[in-house]
C-alpha cells in the first residue's frame, strides 16, 4: 500500500471538492472532506474496476449512499481516469449540463452506479446489487471458471442509517447472508440539525449485529486499518459487513470541521483560504502530480485484470456455449417473446390471476426475470412455476420473499436492475404503493424498467376497508414522469400488459390489477392487441357507427361501462378501454381522434379520484370516487358509494 500516494489522492479530493463547491456557491463539503481517505483507498486500492470500461460486468460496485457528498465521487472518478468525468465537469459542478450534478445522477457518467440523493435508498440499492451478483454467480459460474465474482461497496452516513428503508434493507441483507456486501459507515456524529445527540443515540452497531451483519470498527484516517478491515469483511462470506469509521465532518477546514456548518454549504472565501493553507493546497482545483502518477500506473494493472477476466470469459464461453447464450440473452436488454396464455370470452377471472399466468409464460421464456412480493405472494398472485425461492442456501431461486418491507423491496429491485443482466418485478397491494413511492420515483428517474405489480387496485377490494382501498393511487402514480401506468380491463388485456411491461426498456411499469373476478369481454377492434399499445382501443363501437357518447373506462370499470352502454342504448355509446392514459395522450392527434372522435361527448369512468380525467370530459361527465372507501363486500361498497352501472348510465343519458 502506497500511503504517500493515497494521502495525495485524499488531498486532491479535498482540493477539488473545496473549490468546486465554492465556485458553484452550492454543495456539501462535509462528506468529501471528512471521508477523503476512504475514497482514496477505495478507488486507489480496494475497488476492482477499470475506468477504461465502466460497464465491465464483473467490476466491483460502489454506491455513495450519502449522495450529497457527490464531490467525493466526482473527484475520485476524475482522478482514477473515468473519461466521462472531466475536470471541466468538476469546474462546472452543479451547473446545468455538467456531469457533476448536485447529487450523483445515474447515466450522467461512467462510474456513477446509482442516483443517490434521497437518503437510505443507496444502501437498499446496494443490497440489490449484491443480490444480483449472487444470482448471476449461481447461474453462470462453473467449476472451471468464475466469471461473476465481485463485491458491492457502499458509503453511508448517519442520515442513511436513520431512514426506515435502510433498516428494512439491512434486515433483508442479514437474512440473506449477503457476504459480498460491504458498507462503510461514515460516523461523524453530525447531521444538519447539529450533533446526533439531538435525535440519534441508538447503538447502530448492535442493531446491525441483530440483523446478522459482521461489525468492524476503525478510523477514517488510518489507511492500513481500512485495508485490514476490508480484508476482514471480504473474508466473511456469510454475512454482510458494516465497517464503522469514526470521522470528522469537513476535515481540513480548520474552523468549520466537526460542526454542522461544514455539512451543506460552501466553506466561503475565508475558510477556503484557511483550509488550503492548513492542508497545503497550492492552487485552485489542485491535483497532486503523485496522485495522477499513481492512477496512471494503476490503470495499467486494472486493464490487465480486466483483460484476464475477458480471456477467462472467452474460455468459459467456449466451454459453455449454452450458458454463454443465456448470458447474452440476460444482457441483451430486450425481452424474449413468450407464449402468452389464452383466455376465452366469458371467462371470469381476476386480472391478478390472469397476470399470474402471463408472468408464468414470460418467466419461462425469460430466465433472467426474478422478483417477489412484500409477503403477499398468494394475494398478489406472483408465484410462478419452477422459480425456486432465493435464499442464502439457494442463489438460483428466482422468487424473492422480500418480507413486509415494501420500500426496501422496490429499492432492492432498482439495485438488481442497476447491476445489469436481470429484470425484476416486485409486488404489493396498490394502496401500499405509497410505502414504496420514493423508490418508484428513482426507477423512473434512473430509467430502470422495474415492473411493479399492484393488485387490489380499487374499492372493489371490499371488506378490508378504506386503508386497503386505493382511490387516489391511480392518479398519484400517473403523475410521476416516466412511469408507465397500465390498468388492464380483463384477462386478455392483463396478458398484453405484462408483455408491454417487459418490452419497455426506458423506465418502470406499474400493472394495476384487480382482486375481483372480471368477465373477459369481446373486443370489436380486430387489431386490439396492436391498438392497445397506443394506450387505448375501441372495445365496442356505437350501434350504427357514429357515436353519440364515448365512455372511456379503465380496468375493472370496463365491465361497468359495457353495462351502462347497454342501459343507455339510444345514446349510441362507444366504449373505449384506456389501459394507459399517459401513453394515449402522447399519441399524435390522428391516432387519438381515431379512438375518440373530436366533438363527441365523453364520459370517463374509473373507480378512483377524478384528477386528470378533466382533459377528456367535463366535470359532470366524470364518474369517479372522490372520497375514501368503506369496509364491506365489494358490491355493497360500490352501491354505498353510488358507483354502479345504473348511475353511470344515468350520467350517459343526461
91 near its own copies, judged by CB under 8 A: no
Q: Does 171 bind its own copies (CB under 8 A)?
A: yes
- Three-class SS state of 628: coil
Residues 6 or more apart whose Cβ sits within 8 Å of residue 86: 78, 99
Q: Is 4 exposed, middle or buried (0-12, 13-18, 19+ CB in 10 A)?
A: exposed
Dihedral angle, C-alpha 599, 605, 609, 613, nearest 10 °? -20
By CB under 8 A, tell whether 16 contacts its own copies.
no
- Residues 29, 88 contacting (CB under 8 angstroms): no
Q: Taking every pair of C-alpha atoms in the chain, what is the biggest distance, in angstroms?
A: 87
Q: Tell whether residue 432 is a contact of its own copies (CB under 8 A).
A: yes
Among 37, 168, 492, 606, binds its own copies (CB under 8 A): 168
Q: Does 191 bind its own copies (CB under 8 A)?
A: yes
437 binds its own copies (CB under 8 A): yes
Length reported for the chain = 654
DSSP symbols for 320-363: -HHHHHHHHHHHSSSPPP-------TT-EEEHHHHHHHHHHHHH
100-119 residues in contact with its own copies (CB under 8 A) are 101-103, 105, 115-119
Q: Is 344 in the site for its own copies (CB under 8 A)?
A: no
Is 209 one of the binding residues for its own copies (CB under 8 A)?
yes
Binding mask 444-473 for its own copies (x = CB under 8 A): xx----------------xxxxxxx--xx-
The answer to whether 469 and 628 are in contact (CB under 8 A) is yes
* Torsion angles phi and psi, residue 649, rounded to 5: -60, -35
Please, which residue, 236 or 639, has the CB nearer to its own copies? 639
Which residue bears the cell 359495457?
562
**Which residues have a Cβ under 8 Å from the Cβ of 428 and sit 6 or more positions away?**
373, 374, 376, 380, 406, 409, 435, 436, 453, 454
Question: Which residue lies nearer to its own copies by CB, 225 or 375?
Answer: 375
Neighbours of 247 (CB within 10 A): 27
| Options 81-89, 196-204, 238-246, 362-370: segment touching its own copies (CB under 8 A) | 196-204
Binding of residue 379 to its own copies (CB under 8 A): yes
C-beta of 303 vs 597, nearer to its own copies: 597
- For the CB of residue 389, give the shortest distance to its own copies in the complex, in Å: 7
- HEC string of 188-229 equals CCEECCEEHHHCCCCCHHHHHHHHCCEEEEEECCCHHHHHHH
* Only segment of 10-18, 178-186, 210-218, 233-241 that touches its own copies (CB under 8 A): 210-218
**Nearest distance, CB of residue 179 and its own copies, angstroms:** 15
Distance CA 25, CA 19 (A): 9
Of residues 37, 105, 163, 406, which has the active-site annotation? 406
User: Under the criterion CB under 8 A, does residue 402 sit at the interface with its own copies?
Assistant: yes
| C-alpha span between 224 and 247 (Å, rounded) | 15
Active site residue 406: yes
204 belongs to the binding site for its own copies (CB under 8 A): yes
Q: Which of 5, 10, 13, 24 binds its own copies (CB under 8 A)?
A: 24
Which of 236, 434, 525, 563 binds its own copies (CB under 8 A)? It is 434
Q: In the bound complex, what is the minimum distance in angstroms from residue 410's beta carbon to its own copies? A: 11
Considering only residues 475 through 534, tell me which ones interact with its own copies, judged by CB under 8 A. Answer: 475-476, 478-482
For the bound state, the minimum distance from the C-beta of residue 465 to its own copies, rounded and expressed in Å, comes to 4
Q: Min. distance of Cβ 162 from its own copies in angstroms?
A: 4
Q: Indicate whether 89 belongs to the interface with its own copies (CB under 8 A).
A: no
Residues annotated as part of the active site? 406
Amino acid at each position: 500500500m502506497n500511503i504517500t500516494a493515497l494521502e495525495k489522492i485524499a488531498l486532491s479530493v479535498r482540493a477539488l471538492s473545496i473549490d468546486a463547491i465554492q465556485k458553484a456557491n452550492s454543495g456539501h463539503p462535509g462528506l468529501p472532506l471528512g471521508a477523503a481517505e476512504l475514497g482514496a483507498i477505495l478507488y486507489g486500492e480496494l475497488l476492482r474496476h477499470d475506468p477504461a470500461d465502466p460497464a465491465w460486468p464483473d467490476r466491483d460496485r460502489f454506491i455513495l449512499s450519502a449522495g450529497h457528498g457527490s464531490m467525493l465521487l466526482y473527484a475520485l472518478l476524475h482522478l482514477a481516469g473515468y473519461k466521462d468525468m472531466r475536470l471541466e465537469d468538476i469546474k462546472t459542478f452543479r451547473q446545468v449540463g455538467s456531469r457533476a450534478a448536485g447529487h450523483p445522477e445515474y447515466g450522467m457518467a461512467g462510474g456513477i452506479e446509482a442516483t443517490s440523493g434521497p437518503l437510505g435508498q443507496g444502501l437498499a440499492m446496494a443490497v440489490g446489487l449484491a443480490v444480483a451478483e449472487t444470482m448471476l454467480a449461481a447461474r453462470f459460474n462453473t467449476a472451471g471458471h468464475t466469471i461473476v465474482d465481485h463485491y458491492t461497496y457502499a458509503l453511508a452516513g448517519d442520515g442513511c442509517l436513520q431512514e426506515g428503508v435502510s433498516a428494512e434493507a439491512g434486515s433483508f441483507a442479514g437474512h440473506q447472508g449477503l457476504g459480498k456486501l460491504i458498507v462503510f459507515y461514515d460516523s461523524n456524529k453530525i447531521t444538519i440539525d447539529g450533533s446526533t445527540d439531538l435525535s440519534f443515540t441508538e447503538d447502530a452497531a448492535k442493531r446491525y449485529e441483530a440483523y446478522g451483519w459482521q461489525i468492524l470498527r476503525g478510523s477514517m484516517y488510518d489507511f492500513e486499518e481500512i485495508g485490514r478491515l476490508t480484508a476482514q469483511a471480504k473474508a466473511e462470506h456469510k454475512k454482510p459487513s458494516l465497517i464503522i469509521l469514526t470521522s470528522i465532518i469537513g476535515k481540513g477546514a480548520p474552523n468549520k470541521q466537526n460542526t454542522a456548518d461544514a455539512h451543506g454549504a460552501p466553506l466561503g472565501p475565508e475558510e477556503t483560504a484557511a483550509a488550503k493553507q492548513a492542508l497545503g493546497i497550492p492552487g485552485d482545483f489542485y491535483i497532486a502530480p503523485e496522485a495522477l502518477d499513481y492512477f496512471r500506473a494503476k490503470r495499467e494493472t486494472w486493464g490487465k485484470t480486466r483483460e484476464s477476466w475477458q480471456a477467462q470469459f472467452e474460455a468459459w464461453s467456449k466451454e459453455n456455449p449454452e450458458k454463454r447464450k443465456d448470458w447474452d440473452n440476460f444482457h441483451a436488454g430486450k425481452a424474449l417473446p413468450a407464449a402468452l396464455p389464452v383466455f376465452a370470452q366469458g371467462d371470469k377471472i381476476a386480472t391478478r390471476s390472469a397476470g399470474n399466468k402471463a408472468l408464468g409464460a414470460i418467466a419461462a421464456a425469460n430466465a433472467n426475470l426474478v422478483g417477489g412480493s412484500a409477503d403477499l405472494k398468494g394475494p398478489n398472485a406472483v408465484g410462478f412455476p419452477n422459480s425456486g425461492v432465493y435464499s442464502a442456501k439457494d442463489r438460483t431461486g428466482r422468487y424473492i420473499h422480500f418480507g413486509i418491507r415494501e420500500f426496501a423491496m422496490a429499492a432492492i429491485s432498482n439495485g438488481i436492475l442497476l447491476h445489469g443482466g436481470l429484470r425484476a418485478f416486485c409486488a404489493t397491494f396498490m394502496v401500499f404503493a405509497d410505502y414504496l413511492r420514493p423508490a418508484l420515483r428513482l426507477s423512473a428517474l434512473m430509467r430502470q424498467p422495474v415492473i411493479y405489480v399492484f393488485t387490489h387496485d380499487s374499492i372493489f377490494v371490499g371488506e378490508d376497508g378504506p386503508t386497503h382501498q386505493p382511490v387516489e393511487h391511480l392518479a398519484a402514480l400517473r403523475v410521476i414522469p416516466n412511469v408507465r401506468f397500465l390498468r388492464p380491463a380483463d384477462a386478455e388485456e392483463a396478458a398484453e400488459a405484462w408483455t408491454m411491461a417487459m418490452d419497455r426498456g426506458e423506465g418502470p411499469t406499474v400493472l394495476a390489477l384487480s382482486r375481483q373476478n372480471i368477465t373477459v369481454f369481446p373486443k370489436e377492434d380486430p387489431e386490439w392487441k396492436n391498438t392497445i399499445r397506443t394506450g387505448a382501443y375501441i372495445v365496442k363501437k356505437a350501434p350504427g357507427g357514429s357515436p353519440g357518447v364515448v365512455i372511456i373506462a379503465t380496468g375493472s370499470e370496463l365491465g361497468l361501462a359495457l353495462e351502462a352502454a347497454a342501459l343507455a342504448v339510444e345514446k349510441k355509446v362507444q366504449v373505449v378501454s384506456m389501459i394507459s392514459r399517459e401513453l394515449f395522450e402522447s399519441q399524435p392527434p390522428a391516432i387519438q381522434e381515431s379512438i375518440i372522435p373530436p366533438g363527441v361527448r365523453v364520459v370517463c369512468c374509473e373507480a378512483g379520484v377524478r384528477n386528470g380525467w378533466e382533459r377528456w370530459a367535463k366535470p359532470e361527465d366524470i364518474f369517479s370516487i372522490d372520497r375514501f372507501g368503506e369496509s364491506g363486500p365489494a358490491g355493497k361498497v360500490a352501491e354505498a358509494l353510488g358507483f354502479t352501472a345504473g348511475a353511470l348510465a344515468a350520467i350517459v343519458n343526461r
